[in-house]
Chain A
Amino acid sequence: MSVRLRLPANMRSLASDQSEIAIDGTTVGECLQNLAQQFPELESRLLDAEGNLQGFINVFVDNVSIRELRQLRTPVSEGSEVLIVAALAGG
């Protein structure tokens, strides 16, 4: 199934300047792995060496944090919006 994955502005240059990408996967983790296969430079921005979400990234599925759900094992539905929110400090 395909979800709409929305990237933060500071990662779009690593994904051909796209802000929203259609990605296949049944869980958030699968979607992120598939994203990283297409755009390898994104992998270390999202996941650490053990495959866990980086501590400066939050992911929301249809506006709910995956920390409240099943982390990277959170299932996604056709058409879900997967929103990646990166820590910012522009002041």
Chain B
Amino acid sequence: MIAQLAMATGFALILIGFYGALTNRNILRMIVAFSVANTGVHLVLVAVGYMNGRTAPILDSAVSATEAVTRIIDPVPQALVLTAIVIGMGVTALMLAFAYKLYEKKRSLDIGKFTELRW
């Protein structure tokens, strides 16, 4: 139940982020919307790995190595999301640097003012 709820929230965040990226005219607002959608994707992936009544994939005195198979949740999506968060921050930094460059060129952040590649 918790997993389904978190997954629904993640899907809602992705949709909200896409809506913001498609309808906003300001480049910085589009980047903010993309980072919201990014968080939604992370939420969905982590929710896929969750299993009811199990605990985090860390072995200690509470979860011994022998009973790990029946006690821990799937660690693979977590490793995947860890990678995705770090790369997502790098991509956001790149988008921001390009937004700064575009502002330097046209002195405006309105996407409608950039008409060079329009068709």
Does A associate with B in a complex?
no
The chain B residues found within 8 Å of chain A, CB to CB, are none
The chain A residues found within 8 Å of chain B, CB to CB, are none
